[in-house]
């Protein structure tokens, strides 16, 4: 049903470990304003050329932040204030959205809704505090399908005041590209067929901007792997063979440390998972990481290759403690306002045959409205401080990762059944014909996007505005 091609033109060695790759070229400087220390960063969005696949394939023309794929990692500490100067050297307008960060509305980076797009040659300064620790990311919110699809994204890491003890804290930004045989990006963005199906799923998967055959690890070490799905449409389902991964955070928010359901870490587009890996194998061994999300299209993402060095420690470590909770207010379910968001549209597939479109011109809709991104009237208006329960109903034949800006929400039920962990997320993956009920306190004033993060679906109308007045 999902028409995708097998990823990987070729797989070759990634010589450097991911940790060294992410220690990139952001150049933080410190100053003070008010009470919180201010950390300054600069991001230049511009075309560049990078090696995604590696020799003998040529480099790939991409659009990137600070000439790297992924863009410079922004790493700060909980409670700090960020000032980020964004310079647009692309040939089209752009914005930057800080996905998952509960920033003030004016800093949210949504064109026409929260700011004017940053025209080519122009600059914009984003400034906000990061109230919550966790794994976040940043990406454009203008022509998102093409701009993210050509490489614009980066990790935004907010460290805990007291981080958990690990030997290494690494970030894997997962990318998905549609490349031609010469490793150039195929430019068929927004093609109608894909927009109304699973979205633009590529044929080449990268970790931190490289097709990776092996990543080196050391026996006995404990890794915190921050997984970020920066793909425009691909869903990942990662299995860590021979290891017992423990999820300690989802979308930046702590969860009770636990093994992933069915041994698979599922990451919808835009979602993150913090995974603790105890490297329990022997020096010289390898442990495969597979992506088994799409049935019959499983592939090996990477091999974790143990160095020949002796184990870091004898014996095993204690199980990790739960990370300290972030600062979200608890929704009051007894007095919450209740709303429904019904997702419709897209191709229906029946017995392998495509059976026409949803009834909406642009392909996708929420509560019957296919939004254009301009002059969007709010779908819901909440008064500030009110609790809200929103029942998301997916009436389509496709997965949708649904993202709310400016807030994290608890997933309180799926298909009418209470969830076990009531996890806090900012993007919830809703399978075909299923539902998810989310709850949050509308405590951040402004007009907030609520949309599918399969970027072709967003462009195709699956977005709305929730106003907190």
Residues in contact with ligand C2O by CB under 6 A are: 97, 99, 139, 141, 270, 403, 405, 449, 451, 453
Q: Which is nearer to ligand C2O, 100 or 237 (CB)?
A: 100
Distance (Å, rounded) from C-alpha 174 to C-alpha 160? 23
Q: Which is nearer to ligand C2O, 17 or 175 (CB)?
A: 175
Residue 270 interacting partner from Cu ion, ligand C2O, none (CB closer than 5 to 8 Å by kind): ligand C2O
Q: Which is nearer to ligand C2O, 82 or 336 (CB)?
A: 82
DSSP string, 286-332: EEEEEE--STT--EEEEEEEE-SSPPSSSS-PPPPPPPPP--PPPP-
Q: Which is nearer to ligand C2O, 277 or 436 (CB)?
A: 436
Residue 145 Cβ vs Cu ion, minimum distance, rounded to whole Å: 12
Q: Which is nearer to ligand C2O, 226 or 451 (CB)?
A: 451
For β-strands 463-468 and 380-382, DSSP reports them as parallel
Q: Which is nearer to Cu ion, 264 or 457 (CB)?
A: 457
Q: How crowded is residue 318: how many other Cβ atoms within 10 Å of its Cβ?
A: 6
Distance (Å, rounded) from C-alpha 175 to C-alpha 62? 13
Residue 97 interacting partner from ligand C2O, Cu ion, none (CB closer than 5 to 8 Å by kind): ligand C2O
Residue 425 Cβ vs ligand C2O, minimum distance, rounded to whole Å: 13
Q: Which is nearer to ligand C2O, 113 or 287 (CB)?
A: 113
Residue 219 Cβ vs Cu ion, minimum distance, rounded to whole Å: 42
Distance (Å, rounded) from C-alpha 168 to C-alpha 316? 16
Q: Contact 111/117 with Cβ under 8 angstroms?
A: yes
Q: Which residues bind Cu ion (CB under 5 A)?
A: 400, 452, 454, 457
Residue 247 Cβ vs ligand C2O, minimum distance, rounded to whole Å: 21
Residue 451 Cβ vs ligand C2O, minimum distance, rounded to whole Å: 6
Residue 142 interacting partner from ligand C2O, Cu ion, none (CB closer than 5 to 8 Å by kind): none
The partner residues of 97 in beta bridges, in order of sequence, read 139
Choose among 254, 257, 274: nearest CA to 265.
274
Residue 234 interacting partner from ligand C2O, Cu ion, none (CB closer than 5 to 8 Å by kind): none
CB neighbour class for 191 (10 Å; exposed up to 12, middle 13-18, buried from 19): exposed
Residue 454 interacting partner from ligand C2O, Cu ion, none (CB closer than 5 to 8 Å by kind): Cu ion
CA angle in degrees (0–180, nearest 5) for 356-361-362: 100
Residue 264 interacting partner from Cu ion, ligand C2O, none (CB closer than 5 to 8 Å by kind): none
Residue 97 Cβ vs Cu ion, minimum distance, rounded to whole Å: 17
For β-strands 463-468 and 409-414, DSSP reports them as unpaired
Residue 457 interacting partner from Cu ion, ligand C2O, none (CB closer than 5 to 8 Å by kind): Cu ion
Q: Which is nearer to ligand C2O, 266 or 285 (CB)?
A: 266
Query: 362-388 b/e with 16+ CB inside 10 Å = b?
Result: bbbbbeebbbebeebeebbebeeebbb
Residue 370 Cβ vs ligand C2O, minimum distance, rounded to whole Å: 17
Residue 400 interacting partner from ligand C2O, Cu ion, none (CB closer than 5 to 8 Å by kind): Cu ion
Residue 154 Cβ vs ligand C2O, minimum distance, rounded to whole Å: 12
Please report, to the nearest 10 degrees, the dihedral formed by the alpha carbons of residues 192, 195, 201, 206 taken in order.
Answer: 110
Structure tokens of 291?
């992506």
């Amino acid at each position: 049903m999902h028409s995708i091609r097998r990823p990987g033109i070729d797989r070759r060695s990634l010589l450097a470990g991911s940790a060294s790759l992410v220690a990139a070229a952001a150049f933080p400087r410190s100053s003070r304003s008010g009470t919180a220390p201010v950390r300054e960063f600069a991001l230049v969005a511009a075309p560049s050329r990078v090696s995604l696949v590696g020799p003998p394939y040529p480099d790939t023309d991409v659009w990137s932040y600070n000439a790297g794929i992924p863009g410079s990692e922004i790493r700060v500490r909980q409670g700090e204030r960020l000032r980020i100067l964004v310079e647009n050297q692309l040939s089209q307008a752009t914005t930057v959205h800080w996905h998952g960060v509960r920033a003030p509305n004016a800093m949210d980076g949504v064109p026409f809704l929260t700011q004017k797009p940053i025209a080519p040659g122009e600059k914009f300064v984003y400034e906000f505090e990061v109230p919550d620790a966790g794994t976040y990311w940043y990406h454009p919110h203008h022509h998102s399908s093409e701009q993210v699809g050509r490489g614009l994204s980066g990790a935004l890491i907010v460290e805990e005041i007291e981080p958990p003890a690990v030997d290494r804290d690494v970030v894997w930004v997962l990318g998905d590209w549609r490349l031609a045989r010469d490793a150039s990006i195929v430019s068929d963005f927004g093609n109608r067929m894909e927009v109304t199906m699973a979205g633009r799923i590529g044929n080449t998967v990268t970790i931190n901007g490289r097709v990776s055959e092996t990543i080196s690890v050391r026996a006995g070490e404990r890794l915190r792997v921050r997984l970020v799905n920066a793909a425009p449409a691909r869903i990942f389902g990662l299995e860590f063979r021979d290891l017992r991964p423990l999820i300690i955070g989802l979308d930046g928010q702590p969860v009770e440390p636990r093994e992933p359901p069915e041994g698979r870490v599922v990451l919808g587009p835009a979602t993150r998972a913090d995974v603790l890996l105890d490297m329990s194998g022997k020096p010289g061994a390898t442990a495969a990481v597979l992506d088994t999300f799409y049935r019959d299209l499983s592939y090996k993402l990477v091999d974790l290759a143990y160095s020949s060095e002796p184990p870091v420690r004898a014996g095993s470590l204690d199980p990790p403690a739960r990370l300290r909770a972030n600062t979200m207010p608890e929704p009051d379910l007894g007095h919450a306002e209740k709303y429904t968001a019904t997702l419709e549209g897209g191709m229906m597939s029946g017995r392998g045959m495509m059976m026409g479109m949803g009834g909406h011109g642009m392909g996708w809709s929420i509560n019957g409205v296919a939004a254009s991104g301009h002059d969007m009237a709010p779908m819901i208006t909440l008064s500030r401080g009110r609790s809200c329960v929103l029942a998301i109903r997916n009436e389509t034949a496709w997965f949708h990762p649904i993202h709310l800006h400016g807030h994290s929400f608890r997933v309180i039920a799926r298909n009418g059944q209470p969830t076990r962990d009531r996890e806090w997320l900012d993007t919830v993956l809703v399978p075909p014909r299923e539902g998810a009920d989310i709850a949050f306190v509308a405590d951040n004033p402004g007009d907030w996007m609520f949309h599918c993060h399969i970027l072709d679906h967003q462009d195709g109308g699956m977005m709305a505005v929730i106003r907190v007045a």
